Chain A
C-alpha cells in the first residue's frame, strides 16, 4: 500500500494535475472569501469542465477547489462577521469579536494555521481510515444515526447564549422550518400554504446568508464605522505570529477538534454545519475559560478552524468506501466519479487506490498553497477590516443577493434571505440565539429520515439497541451536566449568602 501512496504523489505533481489543482485552488480561494457563494455551488458549476479529464486531474481540480473554500471562508468570517461558507459560521462567533477589538491578525493567523493543520490531520485520517472504516460504518444503522443526530441537537444547549430554554425553543423553531415542503414519506405539502415555492422546502443557503450576513450588513449601515473599531495590532505580522503560537500551544484541542471533524464528516448526512458546532461546544465545555467563548476566544477560533477542514476529509471516507455522500459538496463530488468512469466502493481500495491516495495529497498540497497565499496577502486582507463601513455596504449587499439567488436561481430565495436577515436582527436585538435555530433547520430533515427508517426496520425496538442506549447516555449527560452544575452553583451561592 505504501508504494501506491507515494506513487500517487508523483501523479499529482505532474504538470497536468498540478496546474489544474492550482487553478482549482485559485477559484476556491476567491469563492471561499466571497460570502454566500458556497463551495458546493461552485463545485456544481465547475463539474462540466471535468469531462475528458483523467480521474486524478479531475479530482485535483475539484477537490483542490473544495478544500480551499473551507480555509478561505474563515477569512471572511473573521474579518467581516459574514460566513464565507455555511461551514464557517462558527468562526464568526469568536473570530469576528477578535477583529472588532483589533486582533484580526492574531485571529487570522490562528484560524488559517489551525485550518491547515486540521486539513492535514484529516488527510492523514483519510489515508489511515480508508481500509478499516467499512466494517465500522456497516455496524451502525438508522437508529444509531438518529440518536447521533439528536446528540448534535443537544449540543445546542451549550451554544444557546444565556438561556438553555431559549436555545431549545429556537431549535424547535428551526425544526419547524425544516419541515416545510413536500413530505418525503407521503408526498403531502407541509406548511406550504399553497405556495409552490415552499414545496421544495426552504433552502439552507439563503437562510444562512441572511441569518448571519444580513444582520452584519445592517449593523454596518447603522454604525457607519469600519468593521474593526480599534487600531490595535491589526495589520502587524506580530499578531499573526501570536496566532500561530496560540495554535501550537493548543495542540491537543486542535487534534481533538480535528478528530471530531473527521468523525462527524464520516457520518453520512451530518455534514460540516453540524461538525463545527459540536467541536465548538466541546471546546467550550473543556475550556478553562468558557466565559470567553462568543466574545473572542482564541480556543473557539482554533476549534472552529480545525474542525472545518478535517471534516472535509472525513466526509470523503463514506463517498470513497460506499458511494454515500456525507454532505452536499461530496454529493456533487460523487457525480465526478461517474463523469470520470469510476465506481466508488471496493474499486477505490484496489484498482483505483492511486486515485484515492491522490485525494489525500491534493488535500495536503492545496491547503499548503492556500495558506501560504493567505499569509502572503494577510496584510491587505487584514486592512480590509478598516475600510469605511459605508464603502462596503453596496458590495456586501451584492454578495448577499447573489449568494442567495444562485442557490436556485429564484427570486424567492432573496425573500427568504430577507426574512432570515430580519430574524437574525430580531434575535440579536432581543437576545435569542441564532445557532440552535440554524442547527434545527440543518438537522430536521436528517432526523426525520432516520426516525422513519428506524421505525420501519425495528418498530419501537430501535430505542433500546445497545449502541443506541450508549448514545442516549451521552445525550443525557450533555443535557444534565450543565443543569446539575447550575444547581450546585446556586446552592453554593445560597450558602455563601447565609454565611454573610
Chain B
C-alpha cells in the first residue's frame, strides 16, 4: 500500500471527505424529485460516491484511531503521482503573504476584466504587474503592455475575429 500519502490522515483530508460526502448526499436527494429516467444516472453515481466517501471516511477514522502506524486507507499501491513534487511543494510551502499577494493580483485582473473589459485590463495589468512584481524598468513594462494590446487586437481581434469580454462600465 502506498506509504507516501502524507495528507491521508490529516484533519483537512477528513474535512474534504465529509464535504464530498455531503455533496454526493445532496446530489442524490435533489435527484429524488426528478422522474425516474432523469434521476437514474445521477442517482447511480451519487450513490456510488456516497458509498466510496463513507468507506474512505471509515478507513481514515480507523487509521487515526490506530495512530501513524495504522493501515493505509488506500486500496492499492498506485505508482502514478499526478503532480510533480515541485508544484505540490510550492502550494504547500508558500507563505501567507505570498499567497495573499498572488491572489490579490488575480483578483485585480478579473475584477478589472469584469469592469473595463479585456482590451483595457490587459495592458494596464501587464504594466502594473511587471513594474510591481518583476521590477521591470518602466519603458520595458510599457513596451510589453503595448505589445500585449497589439497581439490581443491584431491576432485575436482582427485576424481570428474573436469576441472579447467587454466590461460592464
* Segment at the interface with B among A62-70, A256-264, A404-412: A404-412
* Cβ–Cβ contact B82 & A418, under 8 A: no
A124 to B33, CA, bound (A): 51
- The answer to whether residues A175 and B90 also contact, given A96-B84, A398-B118, A435-B82 and a CB cut-off of 8 A, is no
Residues of A within 8 A of B24 (CB): 172, 176
User: In the complex the two chains form, is A431's CB within 8 Å of B6's CB?
Assistant: yes
Determine the distance from Cα of A221 to Cα of B108 in the docked complex, in whole angstroms.
Answer: 14
Q: Is the CB of A128 closer than 8 A to any CB of chain B?
A: no
A-B contact pairs, 5 of them (CB 8 A): A42-B160, A97-B86, A158-B78, A173-B20, A290-B79
Of A172, A179, A221, A428, the contact of B88 (CB 8 Å cutoff): A428
Is A472 at the interface (CB under 8 A from chain B)? no
Do A215 and B37 contact each other (CB < 8 Å), given the known contacts A172-B49, A390-B130, A394-B122? no
Distance in angstroms between the alpha carbons of A128 and B73 in the assembled complex: 48
Question: Scoring A residues 428 to 439 as 1 if CB is less than 8 Å from chain B, else 0, what string do you get?
Answer: 111111110000
Q: Quick one: given A176-B23, A186-B34, are A414 and B110 in contact (CB under 8 Å)? A: yes
Please tell me if the beta carbons of A185 and B37 are within 8 angstroms of each other in the complex.
Answer: yes
Q: Evaluate contact between A290 and B80: CB separation under 8 angstroms.
A: yes
Looking at the assembled complex, report how far the CB atom of A48 sits from the nearest CB atom of chain B, in whole angstroms: 10
Residues on A with C-beta less than 8 A from B162 are: 45, 402, 406
Of A11-19, A377-385, A462-470, A482-490, the one with at least 4 CB within 8 A of chain B: A482-490
Q: Is the CB of A295 within 8 A of B84?
A: yes
Known: A169-B49, A222-B94, A398-B148. A291 touches B75 (CB 8 A): no
Say yes or no: is A80 at the interface (Cβ < 8 Å to chain B).
Answer: no
Select from chain B the residue with minimum beta-carbon distance to A216. B87
| A157–B78 CB distance below 8 A | yes
B136: A residues at CB distance < 8 A: 391
User: Complex: how many Å from CA A432 to CA B113?
Assistant: 31
With contact pairs A223-B90, A402-B118 given, residues A190 and B34 touching in the complex (Cβ less than 8 Å): yes
- Answer yes or no: A137 CB below 8 A from chain B CBs: no
CB distance from A73 to the nearest CB of B (A): 17
Task: Looking at the assembled complex, report how far the CB atom of B61 sits from the nearest CB atom of chain A, in whole angstroms.
Answer: 14
Residues of A within 8 A of B1 (CB): 486, 489-490
Interface flags for B8-51 (1: CB within 8 Å of A; 0: not) read 10001100100010011001001100110110111001101100
Using known A-B contacts A183-B34, A186-B34, determine if residue A164 contacts B133 with beta carbons closer than 8 Å: no
CB-based nearest B residue for A99: B84
Pairs A-B, 6 closest by C-beta atoms:
A172-B49, A390-B134, A394-B126, A163-B74, A221-B102, A175-B45
Interface size on A, residues (CB 8 A): 83
User: How far does the alpha carbon of A388 sit from the alpha carbon of B163 in the complex, in Å?
Assistant: 30
Q: Which of chain A's residues have a CB closer than 8 A to the CB of B130?
A: 390-391, 394
C-alpha spacing A448/B2, complex, angstroms: 33
* B interface with A by C-beta (< 8 Å): 1-2, 4-8, 12-13, 16, 20, 23-24, 27, 30-31, 34-35, 37-38, 40-42, 45-46, 48-49, 52-53, 55-56, 59, 73-88, 90-92, 94, 98-99, 102, 105-106, 109-110, 113-114, 118, 122, 125-126, 129-130, 133-134, 136, 144, 148, 152, 156, 160-165
Whose C-beta in chain A lies nearest to the C-beta of B133? Answer: A390
Q: Is the CB of B152 within 8 A of A165?
A: no
Q: Which residues on the A side are within 8 Å of B52 (C-beta)?
A: 165, 168-169, 172
Contact indicator A190/B110 (Cβ below 8 Å):
no
CB distance from A462 to the nearest CB of B (A): 14
Q: Which residues of A are found within 8 Å of B122, using beta-carbon distances?
A: 394, 398
B8 and chain A: residue at smallest CB distance: A163
Q: Which of A157, A165, A290, A489 has the most CB of B within 10 A?
A: A165
Set A93, A163, A296, A483: member contacting B5, Cβ < 8 A: A163
Per the bound structure, the CA–CA distance linking A483 and B2 in Å amounts to 12
Select from chain B the residue with minimum beta-carbon distance to A167. B78
With known contacts A219-B91, A486-B75, A190–B42 Cβ distance under 8 A: yes
Q: Contact at B34–A158, with CB atoms within 8 Å? A: no
Whether the pair B48, A172 counts as a contact (CB closer than 8 A) is yes
Is A368 positioned at the interface, with any CB of B under 8 Å from its CB? no
Contact present for B113 and A414 (CB under 8 Å): yes
Q: Is the C-beta of A252 less than 8 angstroms from some C-beta in chain B?
A: no
Do residues B76 and A482 form an inter-chain contact, with CB atoms below 8 A?
yes
- Whether A429 and B92, one on each chain, are in contact in the complex, defined by CB atoms closer than 8 angstroms, is yes
- CB-CB < 8 A to B76: which residues of A? 157, 163-164, 482-483, 485-486
Residues of chain B contacted by A45 (CB below 8 angstroms) = 160-162
Closest to A432 in B: B16
Contact with B along A31-53 (1 / 0, CB 8 A): 00000000000100100000000
Residues in B with CB closer than 8 Å to A388 are 134
Measured between beta carbons, the chain A residues less than 8 angstroms from B81 are 161-162, 293-295
> Is the CB of A373 closer than 8 A to any CB of chain B?
no
Name the A residues within 8 Å of B74 (CB-CB): 162-166
Among A190, A222, A447, point to the contact of B91 (Cβ < 8 A).
Answer: A222
Given the known inter-chain contacts A163-B74, A397-B109, please indicate yes or no for A430 contacting B82, CB distance below 8 A.
no
The residue in chain B whose Cβ has the minimal distance to the Cβ of A414 is B165
Contact across chains for A164 and B75 when beta carbons are under 8 A apart: yes
Specify which of B45, B99, B126 is in contact with A172 (CB 8 Å cutoff): B45
Q: Which residues of B contact A431 (CB under 8 A)?
A: 5-7, 83, 88
Nearest-Cβ distance from residue B15 to partner chain A, whole angstroms: 9
User: Which residues of A lie under 8 Å from residue B113 when comparing CB positions?
Assistant: 401, 414
Q: For the complex, give the distance between the alpha carbons of A176 and B53 in Å.
A: 14
How far apart are the CA atoms of A128 and B30 in the complex, in Å?
Answer: 50
Q: Are A489 and B148 in contact (CB under 8 A)?
A: no
Complex contact A401–B118 (CB within 8 A):
yes
The answer for the CA separation of A429 and B93 in the assembled complex, in Å, is: 10
Rounded to whole Å, the gap between the CB of B88 and the closest CB of chain A is 6
User: How far, in angstroms, from A448 to B31 measured CA to CA in the complex?
Assistant: 15
Interface string of A255-297 (1 = CB under 8 A from B): 0000000000000000000000000000010000011011110
